[in-house]
């Protein structure tokens, strides 16, 4: 068996609602897999089943070769879980939260405290460690939550929307953290609503929609399937929009269709997968400069989740 | 999971409650004020009417008020457990290799401090007003043991309510519906003999009556009859029925 975390035909129903309608999933050891999908797609349900918090109605799930339904105790010894809603105790200090988890894992008091200190330092919470968690910012709380799931140095880490609601800087910090954990050999399954996040972190992607897997592949395959990147230019002077449009169309050499820009103040075009976004950007920059057009915004971004779903399912997320 | 490990997990989680009391002592306020209010209210409201003078009534009512204070304290346990369950923290406990029952048992043990405090306050404040126990220190300890054992049993009913109810308001409503017939439909405030016949039938089987009688017997050095036996039987029966139910409901949640 090559996969360290795997699901086969997972089904979960709540009354008449089918949360999962047969989900297959495989995460090879030491890699990151991203579970991508809109709210209600079933991402959290998959994670809760894998974390032994929920029993599936049908199908099987294994972590490290152990069945989550038949051998939950063994599975719990392998995993760390960071939920969508920070699972830390607000009425305790950050340090006490980490020591509590260590003590529950039956570390001797001295070791539990040492491990807590180590994690507090690693997560940049040294200053705040002695404060009650209810005084923490959202980003600090999330970091503490991730720290708490790492006390046991788990072989598998489940991160359920680890960056939802975080500011860009905190998001970057969580990403750096995931990368360093994977370097140390941790297997990670993360759920997210952001294509950018799986593009940054994941080796494999599973796209979920309404409890079904609609696509699996690598980030590159997914981007190829959904049209990859979008180029976006907004002139400082609204009156020069027509000129900008001409320059952009010329720079991308007419091999792309122009997308509607919703606000009529900018130009957006889809770039083909595999093309050099840098070269196109540089060329547009030069031409705009040559024409003396001031630009308020110029950039390339990944397709949004909406665009991914439009491409994969024919409807928006 | 061995019982020793389960006990260790429970104690670790009980410590968590104690640490929280230390950080935010104001959550003990209701437990501290309620016994004092009960003693003042019942002694001066009913004392002269029931016993002829409030000093005689004080001797009769203090042991019963201790039982009543415990019943109301379990309401706090149910509410705080329910609140805990709706945060992500219990998911964390459940995803760790920790005994299934530990978060519940830990919660109950952690609240034991509240129970000891409310018993101590009822007897302490009673003593200020002139309540005098006649039994020796051993009898007092035995009474304390009975009270805590009964409180532990009632906690499992509170835990079941706390786990099953969807909101804190539902917990309050369900608990009060249970607490009122048990505490007021007992001989805590009025001796059984002074009640109408049909009510006496209920009052005699009510566990709160049995516990109050047993505690009175120890504290006031009076004949206990079979109240101690009944008190222990009820305690065990409630635990045997409600502890597994509460753990089952918690697992399915």
A108-118 pLDDT, tens digit each = 999 999 999 99
The answer on pLDDT for B9 being more than 90 is yes
Using the predicted structure, report yes or no on whether residue A260 has a pLDDT greater than 60: no
B23 vs A132: CB contact, 8 Å cut-off? Answer: yes
Among A165-174, B61-70, B219-228, name the most confident range.
Answer: B61-70
Q: Which pLDDT score, from 0 to 100, does residue B251 have?
A: 81
DSSP bridge partners of A10: A23
Q: What is the 3-state secondary structure (H, E, C) of chain A?
A: CCEEEEEEEEEEEECCEEEEEEEEEEEECCCEEEEECCCCCCHHHHHHHHCCCCCCCEEEEEECCEECCCCHHHHHCCEEEECCCCCCCCCCEHHHHHHHHHHHCCCCHHHHHHHHHHHHHHCCCCCCCCCEHHHCCHHHHHHHHHHHHCCCCCCEEEEECCCCCCCHHHHHHHHHHHHHHHHCCCEEEEEECCHHHHHHHCCEEEEEECCEEEEEECHHHHHHHHCCEEEEEEECCHHHHHHHHHHHHHHCCCCCCEECCCCCCCEEEECCCCCCHHHHHHHHHHHHHHCCCCEEEEEEEECCHHHHHHHHHCCCC
pTM: 0.80
- Report d(CA B120, CA B66) in Å as an integer: 9
Residue among A87, A97, A99 with most chain B CBs within 10 A, to mutate: A87
Instruction: Please tell me the distance in Å from A55's CA to the nearest CA on chain B.
Output: 9
Nearest residue on chain A to B92, alpha-carbon basis:
A87
Alpha-carbon gap: A145 to the closest alpha carbon of chain B (Å): 10
- Whether the pLDDT of residue A187 is over 90: the answer is yes
More confident residue, B93 or A252: B93
Residues of chain A found within 8 Å of residue B91, distances taken between Cβ atoms: 48, 51, 53, 81, 83, 87
Phi, psi for residue A15 in degrees, rounded to 5: 60, -120
pLDDT digits (tens, 9 = 90+) for A139-168: 888 889 989 999 999 999 999 988 887 788
Pairing of strands A156-160, A187-192: parallel
Q: What is the pLDDT of residues A53-110, one digit of tens each?
A: 889 999 999 999 999 999 999 999 999 998 776 689 999 999 999 999 999 999 999 9
Judged against a pLDDT cut of 60, whether residue A259 lies above it is answered with: no
Q: Which of residues 74-93 of A touch B (CB under 8 A)?
A: 76-77, 79-81, 83-93
Tell me which chain A residues have a C-beta less than 8 angstroms from the C-beta of B1: 73
Q: Specify the pLDDT at position B145.
A: 92
Q: What is the pLDDT of residue A94?
A: 95
Q: Using one digit for the tens of pLDDT, what is the confidence trace for A30-51?
A: 999 999 988 888 999 999 999 9
Residue A1 clears pLDDT 50, i.e. is over it: no
Model-level ipTM above the cut of 0.85 = no
Q: Which of A104, A106, A146 is most worth mutating to test chain B (most B CB atoms within 10 A of its CB)?
A: A104
Contacts of A76 in chain B (CB under 8 A): 95-98
Give the pLDDT mean for B229-239.
92
Q: Which residues of A touch B96 (CB under 8 A)?
A: 76, 101, 104-105, 152
Maximum average pLDDT range among B14-18, B191-195, B227-231? B14-18
**What letter would DSSP give residue B177?**
H
Higher pLDDT, A162 or A251: A162
> Cβ of B62: how many Cβ atoms within 10 Å?
26
Q: Is the pLDDT of residue A309 over 90?
A: no
The closest of A87, A84, A308 to A192, measured between CA atoms, is: A84
Report the 10 Å Cβ neighbour count for A153.
11
pLDDT of residue B28: 84
């Amino acid at each position: 068996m090559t996969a360290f975390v795997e699901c086969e035909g997972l089904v979960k129903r709540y009354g008449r609602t089918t949360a999962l309608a047969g989900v297959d999933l495989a995460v090879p050891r030491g890699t990151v897999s991203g579970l991508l999908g809109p709210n209600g797609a079933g991402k959290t349900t998959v994670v809760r089943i894998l974390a032994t918090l929920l029993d599936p109605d049908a199908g099987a799930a294994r972590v490290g070769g152990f069945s989550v339904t038949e051998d939950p105790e063994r599975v719990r010894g392998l995993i760390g879980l960071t939920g969508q809603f920070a699972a830390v105790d607000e009425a305790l200090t950050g340090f006490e939260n980490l020591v509590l988890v260590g003590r529950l894992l039956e570390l001797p008091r001295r070791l539990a405290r040492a491990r807590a200190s180590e994690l507090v330092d690693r997560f940049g919470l040294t200053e705040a460690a002695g404060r009650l968690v209810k005084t923490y910012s959202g980003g600090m709380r999330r970091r503490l939550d991730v720290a708490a799931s790492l006390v046991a140095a788990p072989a598998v880490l489940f991160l359920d929307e680890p960056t939802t609601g975080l500011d860009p800087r905190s998001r970057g910090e969580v990403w750096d953290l995931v990368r360093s954990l994977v370097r140390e050999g941790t297997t990670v399954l993360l759920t997210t609503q952001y294509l950018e996040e799986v593009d940054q972190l994941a080796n494999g992607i599973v796209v979920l929609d309404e409890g079904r897997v609609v696509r699996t592949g690598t980030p590159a395959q997914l981007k190829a399937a959904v049209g990859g990147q979008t180029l976006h230019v907004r002139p400082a002077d609204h009156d020069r929009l027509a000129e900008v449009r001409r320059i952009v169309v010329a720079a991308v050499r007419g091999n792309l269709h122009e997308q509607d820009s919703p606000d009529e103040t900018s130009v957006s075009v889809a770039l083909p997968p595999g093309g050099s976004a840098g070269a196109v950007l540089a060329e547009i920059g030069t031409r705009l400069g040559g024409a003396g057009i001031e630009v308020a915004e110029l950039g390339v971004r990944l397709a949004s989740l909406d665009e991914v779903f439009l491409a994969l399912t024919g409807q928006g997320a | 999971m061995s019982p020793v490990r389960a006990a260790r997990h429970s104690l670790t989680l009980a410590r968590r409650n104690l640490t929280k009391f230390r950080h935010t002592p104001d959550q003990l306020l209701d437990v501290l004020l309620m016994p004092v209010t009960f003693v003042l209210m019942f002694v001066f409201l009913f004392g002269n009417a029931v016993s002829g003078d409030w000093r005689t009534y004080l001797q009769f009512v203090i042991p019963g008020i201790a039982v009543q204070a415990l019943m109301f304290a379990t309401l706090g346990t149910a509410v705080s457990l329910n609140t805990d369950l709706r945060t992500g923290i219990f998911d964390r406990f459940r995803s760790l290799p920790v005994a299934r029952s530990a978060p519940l048992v830990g919660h109950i043990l952690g609240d034991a401090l509240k129970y000891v405090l409310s018993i101590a306050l009822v007897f302490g404040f009673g003593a200020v007003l002139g309540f005098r126990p006649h039994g020796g220190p051993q009898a007092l300890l035995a009474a304390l043991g009975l009270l805590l054992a009964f409180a532990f049993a009632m906690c499992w009913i509170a835990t079941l309510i706390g786990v099953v109810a969807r909101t804190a308001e539902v917990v309050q409503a369900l608990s009060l519906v249970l607490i009122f017939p048990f505490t007021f439909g007992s001989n805590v405030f009025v001796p059984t003999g002074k009640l109408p016949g049909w009510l006496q039938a209920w009052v005699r089987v009510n566990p709160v009556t049995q516990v109050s009688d047993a505690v009175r017997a120890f504290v006031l050095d009076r004949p206990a009859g079979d109240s101690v036996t009944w008190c222990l039987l009820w305690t065990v029966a409630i635990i045997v029925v409600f502890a597994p139910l509460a753990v089952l409901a918690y697992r399915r949640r």
